[in-house]
Structure 1
Amino acid sequence: MVDKHLSTQFDSELNGVSARVMELGGLAEAQIRQAIYALSQFNAEAASQVLATEERVNQKEVEIDRELSSIIARRQPTARDLRLLMAISKTTANLERVGDEAAKIARMVRSIIDSGSARMLPASELRVLCDLASGLLRKALDAFARLDCVTALAILKEDDQIDREFDGFVRKLITYMMEDPRTISASLDLLFLAKALERIGDHAGNIAEFIIYVVKGADVRHSSIEEIESALKT
């Protein structure tokens, strides 16, 4: 991920903190997989395991932030090195929020199980959204490890697909609640759960934007796909 410097110690520090981010990403990815399994099976034990991992994710975020502060204070990086460290900090925050969304899914699953409405809800309709969200996070982590702008752009385009899938699910869920008002309370849990999946896609998109920032020095947040494509050509 990092370029070579005159200081091999600096290289080692950059590689070390980058590796920690990948570890955090792997932990967040595992949380998402477990949360999706808990949802697909309405498995309370799996949901509890997701929640048990939350503290580890939070602790890793704190450790990475502490390490970043130390590197910046001692090395006073500039240009691409500074952009990389800033991107690592922002990526770490987004991965921690992915963990928060996984925990939210787990809590919603337990709430639905406790309500006794699990078998009555169209949870299977969320399969596509689950696959898109988890797949997008995996791609974002791989792209960040390689600082791959081409994949980053593809991720930003695919994020729109998650938004469309979420909107479609909301319409189906509203129809379902109108047909069977007894499921309204549990269906609202499923709605918030779907929103958590959509937010995971947003966090993956944020990571993709940080990749472009590191490589191109262009802040493409809140930019259209056309504007991002133009920035990548410069």
Structure 2
Amino acid sequence: MIGEHSSKQYDHELEAIRSKVLLMGGMVETQFEGAMECFRVGNDETADRVMADDHAVNQLEVSLDDACSHLIVRRQPAANDLRTVFATIKVITDLERIGDESSKIARTSKSLHSRGAVNGLNHYDMMRTIAVATTEMLHDALDAFARLDGKQAMAIIAQDALIDHEFKSILRNLITFMMEDPRTISSALDTLWVAKAIERIGDHAKNIAEYVIYVVEGKDIRHTKPAEPEKSAP
């Protein structure tokens, strides 16, 4: 009975942590959406809110890290339970970094619009595809984490190739702009900074999906290449 009570208490504490992680995920999703809205139309109030929200995300990271550490010490989880706690800690770190990248986008967007430096680049249209794809990827990664859905996680990892392709396309376009009109160099570099931040958010979403697979299957697939199909015998 004591063991059963301890197990139920552990499950309750872990679920409470997971709920707060998903709350944190919702916060960074809102941050990213606000940052991209600021990039699209320029709104100092929105930019300031995104940057201010980053402090709340940071505080939540500290609180959740502490809760996970105490859970390990008190409950001493083993096997899959320990994997779940470790993966949750990693997810918390990635979410905090997504908040940082969103704050960078908001700060850079505020500077771009205040200088009136966005008119010649058609900057948001250039960024639309990567922004939409990354928004969906982040949402799906959080959904996979909430449901511990390994299949969905694998699909998310595959989407990262699109994000990388779009970033390279944006880089080529911006280089062309700078070569053709040196007056666009400053705004093009700022726009590239935003594109890189979006690409990094995609990387963090991919990381979250990889941690889901680690929990579900016990496999660490980070830094591994997809398996190649076997060749048929001659």
Q: Same fold (TM over 0.5)?
A: yes
Give the SS at the match of 2:223: coil
3-state DSSP class of the match of 2:227?
helix
Percent identity of paired positions between Structure 1 and Structure 2: 47
Return 181-190 or 112-121, whichever deviates more.
112-121
Superposition pairs of residues 170-189 of structure 1, within 5 angstroms: 170-189=171-190
Quote the offset at 1:210 in angstroms: 0.4
Decide whether aligned partners of structure 1 residues 5 and 25 sit closer, same or farther in structure 2, where only a CA change above 3 A counts. Answer: farther
Q: Residues of 1 paired with 2:5 and 2:175: CA distance?
A: 57
Q: Which amino acid aligns with 1:191?
A: L
Q: Is the 8 A contact 2:130 2:167 kept in 1?
A: yes
Q: Contact 2:83–2:215 (CA<8 Å) still a contact in 1?
A: yes
Q: What does residue 39 of structure 1 align with?
A: 39
- Deviation at residue 6 of structure 1 after TM alignment: 6.3
If the length of structure 2 is used for normalisation, what is the TM-score?
A: 0.93
Q: Is the 8 A contact 1:101 1:200 kept in 2?
A: yes
Counterpart code for 1:214 = V
Q: Is the 8 A contact 1:177 1:184 kept in 2?
A: yes
Secondary structure (helix, strand or coil) at the match of 1:219 reads coil
Whole-Å Cα distance in 2 between the matches of residues 38 and 114 of structure 1? 11
Matches within 5 A, 1:109-120: 109-120=109-120
Q: Is the 8 A contact 1:156 1:225 kept in 2?
A: no
- Is the Cα–Cα contact under 8 Å of residues 39 and 110 in structure 2 kept in the other structure? no
The alpha carbon displacement at 1:122 in A equals 2.4
Tell me what 1:136 maps to. 137
Using the size of structure 1 for normalisation, the TM-score is 0.93
User: Please, which runs of 5 or more residues in structure 1 have no aligned partner?
Assistant: none
CA deviation map 1:34-69 (0-9, x unaligned): 001111112222111110101000000000001001
Tell me the CA shift for residue 5 of structure 1. Answer: 8.3
Instruction: State how far apart, in whole Å, the 2-side matches of 1:8 and 1:171 are.
Output: 55
**Letter paired with 2:17:** V
Residues 1-234 of structure 1 aligned to structure 2 (within 5 Å):
7-123=7-123, 124-226=125-227
Stretches of 4+ moved more than 6 A in 1? none
Q: 1:181 to 1:212 in 2, by over 3 A?
A: same
Matching residue's letter, 1:16:
A
* Counterpart amino acid of residue 73 in structure 2: A
CA root-mean-square deviation? 1.7
> 1:77 offset after TM fit, Å?
0.4
Q: How far, CA to CA, are the matches of 1:180 and 1:205 in structure 2?
A: 36
Q: CA deviation at 1:116?
A: 2.0
The amino acid of 1:21's aligned partner reads: V
- Quote the offset at 1:128 in angstroms: 0.5
Helix, strand or coil at the partner of 1:88: helix
Distance 1:6 1:62 in 2: 25
> What displacement does 1:121 show?
2.1
> 2: distance between equivalents of 1:103 and 1:37?
12
Number of aligned positions between the proteins: 226
